[in-house]
């Protein structure tokens, strides 16, 4: 797993470099309008691929948000990896959100599963079953199973996975990202309850999403 460099994700530097170089070439050729447009794209790339450090809570018995964004659903439904009926918290990321995903708890990645699919709006119900997505089963220190599912959206068409099965993750540690607007579903193990409400804004690795009851 590669850490962020200068507050930017490793995946962002090629895009930033290309747009910056393009702006420089246009400027040297005396083409101000294309240069400004390329510079604007460079700024957008900096903004989109930003990866700020977060203050991760250290109190026991809690899980932090795996994604930046807005809570759009809290519901009971089958876990796609275990098949169990669980409480699922859905977090929608727009194009202006930080798109780096972080582990909700300390544990070991037991399973990773990828599903090819469509690219409908990630806020829709059917996105959880129809869209391209990647699921991670994380076994917490207390033995509880957590499932995180990255769901590609209408604009986001690439899911980035930075971990492998057997990898150990700390609470708040980066494990991947999704590009350009998307969603993450977190399935809670029994014994944990949501500590957020629908419509609430949360931040990956920092906001408490669930607590042990």
The answer to whether residues 25 and 102 belong to one domain is no
- Go through 61-95 and write b for each residue having 16 or more CB atoms within 10 A of its CB, e for each that does not: ebbbbbbbbbbebeeeeebbbeeeebbbbbbbbbe
Q: How many domains does the chain have?
A: 2
pLDDT of residue 1: 43
Q: Which domain holds residue 27?
A: 10-48
pLDDT tens digits along 63-92: 999 999 999 999 999 999 999 999 999 999
Catalytic residue among 97, 182, 195, 207: 182
CA distances, 60 to each of 31, 173, 209 (Å): 57, 16, 13
Condensed to tens digits (0 to 9), the pLDDT of residues 125-166 reads 777 778 889 999 999 999 999 999 999 876 655 788 999 999
Say whether 65 is catalytic.
no
Confidence of residue 6 (pLDDT cuts 50, 70, 90): low
Residues 119 and 190 in one domain: yes
Lowest mean pLDDT among 32-36, 64-68, 100-104: 32-36
Quick check: is 55 in a domain? no
152 and 88 both lie in a single domain: yes
Residue 138 lies in a domain: yes
Q: Is residue 26 part of a domain?
A: yes
Above pLDDT 70, what percent of the chain?
93
User: Tokens 């350009």 correspond to what residue?
Assistant: 180
Residues 132 and 164 reside in one and the same domain:
yes
pLDDT at 181 over 80: no
The band of 202, judged by pLDDT with boundaries at 50, 70 and 90, is very high
Residues 99 and 159 in one domain: yes
Q: 34 and 99 share a domain? A: no
Say if residue 189 is in the same domain as residue 84: yes
Q: Tell me, what's the pLDDT at 4?
A: 46
Co-location of 186 and 133 in the same domain:
yes
184 φ/ψ angles, rounded to the nearest 5 degrees: -130, 130
**Is the residue at 102 inside a domain?**
yes
Kindly state whether residue 1 falls inside one of the protein's structural domains. no
84 Cβ contact partners less than 8 Å away, ≥ 6 residues apart: 78
The answer to whether residues 40 and 74 belong to one domain is: no
Q: Quick one: 121 and 156 in the same domain?
A: yes
Task: Please compute the mean of the pLDDT values over residues 57-62 and round it to a whole number.
Answer: 95
* pLDDT higher than 70, residue 180: no
> How much is the mean pLDDT over the chain?
89
Residues 81 and 168 occupy one common structural domain: yes
Tell whether 67 and 42 lie within a shared domain: no
Average pLDDT, integer, range 40-47: 81
């Amino acid at each position: 797993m590669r850490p962020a460099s200068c507050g930017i994700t490793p995946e962002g530097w090629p895009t930033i470099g290309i747009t910056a170089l393009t702006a420089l070439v246009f400027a040297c050729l005396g083409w101000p309008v294309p240069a400004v447009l390329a510079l604007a794209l460079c700024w957008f790339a900096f903004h989109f691929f930003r990866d700020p450090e977060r203050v991760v809570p250290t109190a026991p018995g809690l899980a932090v948000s795996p994604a930046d964004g807005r809570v759009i659903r809290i519901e009971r439904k089958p876990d796609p990896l275990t098949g169990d009926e669980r409480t699922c918290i859905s977090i929608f990321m727009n194009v202006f959100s930080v798109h780096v995903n972080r582990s909700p708890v300390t544990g070991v990645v037991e399973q990773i599963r990828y599903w090819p699919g469509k690219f409908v709006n990630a806020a829709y119900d059917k996105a959880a079953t129809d869209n391209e997505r990647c699921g991670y089963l994380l076994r917490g220190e207390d033995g509880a199973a957590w499932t995180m599912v990255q769901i590609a959206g209408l604009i986001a068409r690439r899911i980035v996975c930075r971990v492998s099965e057997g990898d150990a993750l700390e609470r708040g540690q980066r494990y991947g990202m999704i590009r350009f607007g998307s969603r993450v579903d977190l399935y809670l193990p029994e014994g944990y309850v949501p500590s957020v409400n629908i419509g609430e804004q949360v931040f990956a690795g920092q906001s408490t999403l669930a607590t042990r009851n």
